[in-house]
């Protein structure tokens, strides 16, 4: 496939760079902060680049993801903040796709998926949309292929009316080289904390559906039975003010630390004895995967997207969603039983390595993106998608013709 070249030096649009030997992917995201989807875009983009693909990232200029992309050597195309009704942005994306010789558009989150789908129709390029949570299905209906990050998300999308042959499961993955287990006492000592202090960690975007308020309601019960314990809450989001107010109302300021967002959560996870994920609903929990990779047992809500990650009684404990008493009981049990923590932690590490390695994830996505773009990757050792991860319908990997796009 030839690259489209800009024929007018005054147009202000970037000309196409030299083509790489594999696929040129336009990654689009419309984040509100830094969470799992944003971390996944960075991991995927870096992995595709390392594999030899060409990646262009498009995102709003005002969002915190921009410096993190640059830290990974990715220079995004930035644009003012845009919303779902912003057809100007969709047109800009279509022109970028055509003039830079993009092979396939890959979107993350609802606004990006709607605008990316419109841009795909305008430019004659195929669109793959990744759905990271249990979100409104209608924003993804313009995509040629939809990637669900878990079987729970796939079931949600099918219930919303998407055709089964268009929806593929590719689990999120993490870079396991970053997650090297160390004893919690050593990590606490290195960070200036008392190595003897039991620590429980709660990591993730602060939002009502993430269940942080349930964890806080459970905390006085934990503190009553394990008085020396501390709770570290790592993340930021729209619930921060509510969380602060609840900490004050429960009078647990002395044992709860609100630490905000960190780009290196694994460093704080290493200091934890137990990691808690009390989500009320969840697509797939990266924090639970990260905790398991660090050999930390996970106490999680028994909801789709968490029960797909945490094996009850093996890598952690699943409790009924929203049940603060059961959550507290599970935390206390693990804090009091170091051998149980060790056994669950070791099992969690094995599961993370077998099921949630970003190397396997990126390899599967490369195969899918290439198939959707009708590009064949001849790469020895590539990991092909499993049979339930390959679109089977004739329309699933169909590329729009140039006659459908811009001239």
Q: What is the pLDDT of residues 147-191, one digit of tens each?
A: 999 999 999 999 999 999 999 999 999 999 989 999 999 999 998
DSSP collapsed to 3 states, 221-239: HHHHHCCCCEEEEECCCCC
Eight-state DSSP code of residue 270: T
Looking at residue 278, what is its pLDDT? Answer: 98
Residues of the chain with CATH 3.40.50.2000: 24-173+357-399, 176-355
How many other CB atoms are there within 10 angstroms of residue 251's CB atom? Answer: 9
Looking at residue 31, what is its pLDDT? Answer: 67
Looking at residue 374, what is its pLDDT? Answer: 79
- Residue 240, helix vs strand vs coil: helix
Q: Which residues are 312's β-sheet partners?
A: 316
The sign one gets for the Cα dihedral 210, 211, 212, 213 is positive
- Residue 306, helix vs strand vs coil: coil
Place of tokens 């009553």: 224
| pLDDT means over runs of 10, the chain (407 residues) | 34 42 88 79 92 91 80 84 80 94 95 94 95 93 96 96 96 93 95 95 94 98 98 93 97 96 86 98 94 98 95 98 98 98 98 96 94 62 42 36 31
Calpha distance 380→376 (Å, rounded): 12
Say if residues 315 and 297 touch (Cβ distance below 8 Å): yes
Report the length, in residues, of the chain.
407
Token code pair at residue 28: 């689009």
Looking at residue 281, what is its pLDDT? Answer: 92
Q: Does domain 24-173+357-399 have CATH number 3.40.50.2000?
A: yes
- Residue 147, helix vs strand vs coil: strand
- How much of the chain is helix, strand and coil, in % rounded to 5? 40, 15, 45
Q: Which residues are 147's β-sheet partners?
A: 130, 168
Token code pair at residue 340: 């149980």
pLDDT in tens, 67-76: 888 888 888 8
- Residue 259, helix vs strand vs coil: strand
Looking at residue 35, what is its pLDDT? Answer: 76
Looking at residue 83, what is its pLDDT? Answer: 73
Calpha distance 351→174 (Å, rounded): 12
CATH classification code of 176-355 = 3.40.50.2000
């Amino acid at each position: 496939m030839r690259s489209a070249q800009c024929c007018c030096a005054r147009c202000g649009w970037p000309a196409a760079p030299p083509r790489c030997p594999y696929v040129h992917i336009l990654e689009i995201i419309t984040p509100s902060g830094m969470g799992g989807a944003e971390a996944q875009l960075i991991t995927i983009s870096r992995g595709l680049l390392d594999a030899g693909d060409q990646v262009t990232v498009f995102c709003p200029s005002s969002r915190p993801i921009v410096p993190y992309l640059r830290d990974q050597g990715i220079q995004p195309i930035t644009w003012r903040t845009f919303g779902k009704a912003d057809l100007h942005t969709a047109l800009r994306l279509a022109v970028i796709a055509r003039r830079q010789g993009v092979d396939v558009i890959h979107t993350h989150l609802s606004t990006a998926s709607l605008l990316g789908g419109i841009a795909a129709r305008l430019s004659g390029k195929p669109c793959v949309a990744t759905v990271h949570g249990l979100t409104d299905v209608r924003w993804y209906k313009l995509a040629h292929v939809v990637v669900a990050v878990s079987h729970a998300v796939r079931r949600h999308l099918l219930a919303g009316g998407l055709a089964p042959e268009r929806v593929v499961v590719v689990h999120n993955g993490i870079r396991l080289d970053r997650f090297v287990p160390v004893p919690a006492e050593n990590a606490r000592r290195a960070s200036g904390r008392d190595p003897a202090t039991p620590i429980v960690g709660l990591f993730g975007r602060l939002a009502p559906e993430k269940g942080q308020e349930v964890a806080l309601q459970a905390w006085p019960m934990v503190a009553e039975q394990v008085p020396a314990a501390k709770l570290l809450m790592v993340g930021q989001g729209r619930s921060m003010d509510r969380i602060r107010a609840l900490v004050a109302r429960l009078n647990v300021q002395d044992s709860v630390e609100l630490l905000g967002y960190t780009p290196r959560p694994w460093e704080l996870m290493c200091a934890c004895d137990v990691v808690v994920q009390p989500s009320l609903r969840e697509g797939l929990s990266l924090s639970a995967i990260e905790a398991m990779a660090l050999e930390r047992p996970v106490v999680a809500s028994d909801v789709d997207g968490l029960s797909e990650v945490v094996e009850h009684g093996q890598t952690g404990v699943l409790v009924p969603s929203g049940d603060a008493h059961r959550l507290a009981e599970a935390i206390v049990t693990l804090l009091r039983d170091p051998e149980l923590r060790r056994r669950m932690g070791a099992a969690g590490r094995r599961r993370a390595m077998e099921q949630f390695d970003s190397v396997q994830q990126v390899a599967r996505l490369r195969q899918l993106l290439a198939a959707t773009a009708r590009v064949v990757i001849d790469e020895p050792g590539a990991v092909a998608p499993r049979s339930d991860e390959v679109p089977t319908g004739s329309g699933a990997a169909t590329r729009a013709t140039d006659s459908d796009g811009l001239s």
